[in-house]
Chains A and B, each alone.
Chain A
């Protein structure tokens, strides 16, 4: 049976999502062809009006566009950017990104919940980028999010799954798909997130700055698949939780 997952009525086989940030035609090609990406993030603020530069032209039609609201500092601004994306013809998917800090670019969970609620009411498929906090994640579920996208570590830090323990809590408690976003600096970290039970990972810088884009894209595809298979096989959870001993500890008890 094919291992698929669904978001906003669309079914995906790939669990590798290309983030925005650093874009080039070569990067998109590598992500689609070699990493198998079926969803690509698009920073609305970076879309160009100049014809030759329009990133929309680079993205194959069978790939789902995920416009993001980067640059928004409040829920209100995020909502405006999302509406603009829809008007630009980017579809109904939107990644809500709200930051009130230019240094760490950490998401503001409270504003994100507000924006998610408004946009879900307007029929958007909302994927909120968030700091991995259980209460906020639950609020996002209530607000109508289609998935939650917790960060793994601060953007640009290349520190991998620094928030691992908190990601695990969300993976254990939240029923929606969880896409691990931000901080994945290498394929092994993507693999680890998938082993833990993430539905997908989002990667940009790690791929964009690689020496050989197609090779790195392929490495990510393999890592994501390996991690996913490990999770499905049951090993992932068993390893995290500790295996049961082959000889029961309580085997000496009589009666």
Chain B
């Protein structure tokens, strides 16, 4: 499946600035799997966790055949009081597509029972776009020719002031995955700064060890997001050709290490469109499910990004994951994990986000920039000429916090800017 998608989405782009040697190495990585490292082998310094969660998730996914489920399986799933793993598999299958409206009604009822009409708002802040990985679909990948940059402490604080002055109270700090350009202390210091301006600080940075998560928690972060991208190891290996991200199991166990390090909550996601989205959605939900069972106090949330065009490659698309499929996945998530947060990012259109917050999503971003250091110009309505580094992907919904707040309120929803205390 992964190979088929690769053919359909032409990911490989050669920057004209690469030296012949670099280009040759890039092509070898892309075309000759024997040049690539074993994605299941940990690199030096990576903590190995004794955990059964990965095995439990992957064995369920391996035996999942979406074509096996029928409309009556889906109807039965919709009638059961609590959704089982088998029900989840039926809800994610093609047989559920004609029953999408029914699913949405049930999902809406569950969302209202657990969240009422509240929708949480947050904004991401990209600190750095340096990256040592070659993930073929990502704008930050080390072979992509983009303007690289990272914020200094002063710039970080300035961006935070600009964002905080818009009224935002929750921030998600992101970096590209480069331990040398954005080391742990750099991220920790950013967390400390963020605590001055925001009530809730989340992190979406390269996976680290338990003691490092503990350090970041002590610096002020309470939530950790790590996207597995795809749970299909075969596709994963073909998409993540170089760098520490290539180590599949280390990434998989990141949320568990984060919880052991004292984080309050963790978020999960597959990047939909990379491989078989039904299997990836199943894996994402089960990853969250088994971890919450093991760590009952953990707050869990799910994201659902679809592939987007990147700088130098406008052709990247989410393939067979249309809005209907995305809606089906989110309804299935809601029914299987009624208590889980569901975040829908600005990758999706305003129309889709306005619709999905009435059904299943509980959190949306606003006032988003995925570039480095352009909040000030963006919020002031100027062009992003002064930005320090280019964007990770193109966003779709560019609404500001105020606009989003108003749109949600006008739609009868209650925007919530903060739902957490750092204790």
Q: Which residues of A57-91 are within 8 A (CB) of B?
A: 71-73, 77, 80-81, 84
B113 touches A157 (CB 8 A): yes
- Chain B residue numbers with a CB within 8 Å of A158 are 113
| Chain B interface (Cβ < 8 Å from any Cβ of A) | 112-118, 167, 169, 199, 265, 292, 296-300, 338-339, 414, 416-421, 423
Interface status of A224 (Cβ within 8 A of chain B): no
Which stretch (A46-54, A140-148, A247-255) binds chain B? A46-54
A73-B297, A156-B339 as given contacts; A50 in contact with B118, CB under 8 Å: no
Tell whether, in the assembled complex, residue A22 and residue B414 are in contact, meaning their CB atoms are under 8 Å apart.
yes
A209 at interface by CB-CB < 8 Å: yes
Interface residues in A156-202 by Cβ distance below 8 A to B read 156-158
Task: For the complex, give the distance between the alpha carbons of A181 and B417 in Å.
Answer: 26
- In Å, the complex CA distance between A105 and B115 comes to 13
Q: How far is the CB of A168 from chain B (nearest CB, A)?
A: 25
Select B117's contact among A71, A77, A209, beta carbons within 8 Å: A209
User: Which residue in chain A gives the minimum CB-CB distance to B168?
Assistant: A50
Assess the B167–A72 pair: CB atoms within 8 A: no
Q: How far is the CA of A73 from the CA of B114 in the complex (A)?
A: 19
**In the bound complex, CA of A21 to CA of B118 (Å):** 9
Apart from A50-B417, A71-B423, A104-B339, 9 more pairs, CB < 8 Å: A46-B418, A49-B169, A71-B421, A80-B423, A99-B297, A100-B297, A101-B296, A102-B292, A205-B116
Q: Is A103 a contact of B117 with CB atoms below 8 Å?
A: no
Given A23-B414, A101-B297, A103-B292, the answer on whether A45 and B117 have CB atoms closer than 8 Å is no
Interface pair B292/A48, CB less than 8 Å apart: no
Could you say which residues of chain A place their CB within 8 Å of the CB of B338?
A: 156
Report the Cα distance A71→B199, complex, angstroms: 13
CB-CB < 8 A to B414: which residues of A? 22-24
Q: A102 contacts B300, CB within 8 Å?
A: yes
A47 and B417 CA atoms in complex are apart in Å by 9
Q: Is the CB of B114 within 8 A of A156?
A: yes
Q: How large, as a class, is the contact surface on chain A?
A: 35 or more
- Cα A99 to Cα B116 with chains together (Å): 19
Q: Whole-angstrom distance between the alpha carbons of A99 and B418 in the complex? A: 19
Interface presence of A44 (CB below 8 A): yes
A103 touches B199 (CB 8 A): no
On chain B, the residues within 8 Å of A103 by CB distance are 292, 296, 339
Given contacts A53-B417, A102-B300, contact A48 B116 (CB under 8 A): no
A86-123: CB near B (< 8 Å → 1, else 0) gives: 00000000000001111111000000000000000000
Let me know if B113 and A102 touch, CB within 8 A: no
Q: B-contacting residues of A (Cβ < 8 Å)?
A: 21-24, 43-50, 52-53, 71-73, 77, 80-81, 84, 99-105, 156-158, 204-205, 208-209
| Chain B interface main SS type | loop
A112–chain B nearest beta-carbon distance, Å:
15
| Interchain CB contact under 8 A, B419 and A45 | yes
Of chain B, the residue at the smallest CB distance from A27 is B414
A4 to chain B, nearest CB (A): 31
For residue A43, which residue of chain B has the nearest CB?
A: B419
- Give Cα distance in the complex from A50 to B121, angstroms: 13
Contacts of A71 in B (CB 8 A): 419-421, 423
Instruction: Please report the C-alpha to C-alpha distance between residue A102 and residue B295 in the assembled complex, in whole angstroms.
Output: 9
Beyond A22-B118, A156-B339, whether A205 also contacts B418 by CB under 8 A is: no
Q: Is the CB of B299 within 8 A of A53?
A: no
Residues in chain A near residue B339, CB distance under 8 A? 102-105, 156
Asked if residues A45 and B420 are in contact (CB atoms below 8 Å), the reply is yes
B-chain residues with CB within 8 Å of residue A50 when the two chains form the complex: 167, 169, 417
Which residue of chain B has the shortest Cβ distance to A208 in the bound complex?
Answer: B116
A48 to B414, CA, bound (A): 14
Cβ-defined contact, B199 with A102, below 8 A: no
- Given the complex of chains A and B, what is the CA–CA distance between A112 and B114 in angstroms? 23
**Known contacts A46-B419, A50-B169: A100-B296 contact under CB 8 Å:** yes
Given contacts A50-B169, A102-B299, A103-B339, contact A209 B112 (CB under 8 A): yes
Complex Cα distance, B421 from A80, in Å, reads 10
- Complex CA–CA separation, A208 to B114 (angstroms): 12
Shortest C-beta distance, A91 to chain B (Å), equals 18
Q: Contact check, A102 vs B117: say whether CB atoms are below 8 A apart.
A: no
- Contact present for B167 and A53 (CB under 8 Å): yes
A87 to B95, CA, bound (A): 55
Contact partners of B416 in chain A: CB under 8 A: 46
Instruction: Contact check, B418 vs A45: say whether CB atoms are below 8 A apart.
Output: yes
The residue on A at minimum CB distance from B295 is A102
